[in-house]
């Protein structure tokens, strides 16, 4: 039986691209937390670059598609804005991609 890990979830989230910037939501620094409970329920805590971003539904759908590939059937996405996103949250790779 496959054991679901945070690393496996994070690796799948690296495949989810921000629709405007074409950079992964992980490298963009949008993922604040990944939790997996005993029943393999995955809880993602994330933010967006701006409050009210109209593209969240696209990102959410892509997260669900990618995690379904791992067999995730129970997923909750907590969208938060505190702390607010800033470029400091980006990975070094993300900053290089965007030329920052």
Residue 17 pLDDT > 90:
yes
Task: Give the number of other Cβ atoms within 10 Å of residue 89's Cβ.
Answer: 16
- 48 belongs to a structural domain: yes
Share of the chain above pLDDT 90, in %: 78
- 1 belongs to a structural domain: no
Per the DSSP assignment, residues forming a β-bridge with 17 are: 24
Please identify which residue in the block is written with the tokens 């690296």.
Answer: 14
pLDDT in tens, 2-11: 679 999 999 9
- Residue from 38, 6, 28 nearest 93 by CA: 28
Looking at the structure of the chain, the number of domains it has is 1
Q: What is the mean pLDDT of residues 53-69?
A: 94
CATH number, domain of 83, equals: 3.30.300.130
Residue 1 pLDDT > 60:
no
- Residue from 91, 88, 66, 92 nearest 77 by CA: 66
- 93 belongs to a structural domain: yes
Q: What is the mean pLDDT of residues 12-24?
A: 95
Expressed as residue numbers, the domain containing 28 is 6-97
Q: What is the mean pLDDT of residues 46-60?
A: 91
């Amino acid at each position: 039986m496959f054991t679901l890990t945070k690393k496996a979830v994070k690796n799948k989230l690296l495949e989810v691209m921000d629709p405007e910037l074409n950079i992964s939501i992980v490298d963009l620094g949008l993922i604040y937390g990944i939790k997996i409970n005993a029943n393999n329920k995955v809880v993602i805590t994330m933010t967006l670059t701006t409050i009210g971003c109209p593209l969240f539904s696209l990102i959410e759908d892509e997260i669900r598609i990618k995690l379904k590939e791992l067999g995730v059937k129970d997923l909750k996405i907590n969208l938060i804005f505190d702390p607010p996103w800033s470029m400091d949250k980006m990975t070094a790779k993300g900053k290089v991609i965007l030329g920052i």
